[in-house]
Amino acid sequence: MRTYYVYIMASASRVLYIGVTNNIKRRVEEHRQKSVPGFATNYHTRELVHVEPFGNVRAAIAREKQLKGWLRAKKIALIESSNPRWKDLGAEWG
């Protein structure tokens, strides 16, 4: 069974990017290398601060849309509920 991930990346100034992927390590590396043009590249979202795994792509996409619809304060509360120091959860992936 394939795993899908809804994730939140943050910049040093705490600009947030929410996305979904089936390969979280590859996607985080793409953010760090700025290899995909767009919002994440323009705003330097390089640190993985939140991630949720899903076994179903439709559930993952629904969750991504839900999070994108939230106010910023609610997104920050979600991040800080599991990662209060905003540690880069992918820092050890090399």
User: Domain extents for the chain?
Assistant: 4-86
Kindly state the average pLDDT of the residues 10-14: 95
Tokens of 36: 């995909």
Kindly state the average pLDDT of the residues 2-21: 97
Q: Provide the pLDDT for residue 94.
A: 61
pLDDT-derived band at 37 (thresholds 50, 70, 90) equals: confident
The CATH code that applies to domain 4-86 is 3.40.1440.10
CB 20 within 8 A of CB 4: yes
Output the CA angle 43-3-1, nearest 5 degrees: 160
Instruction: Collect contacts of 26-34 with beta carbons under 8 A, ≥24 apart.
Output: 28/90, 28/93, 29/93
pTM comes to 0.95
pLDDT-derived band at 36 (thresholds 50, 70, 90) equals: confident
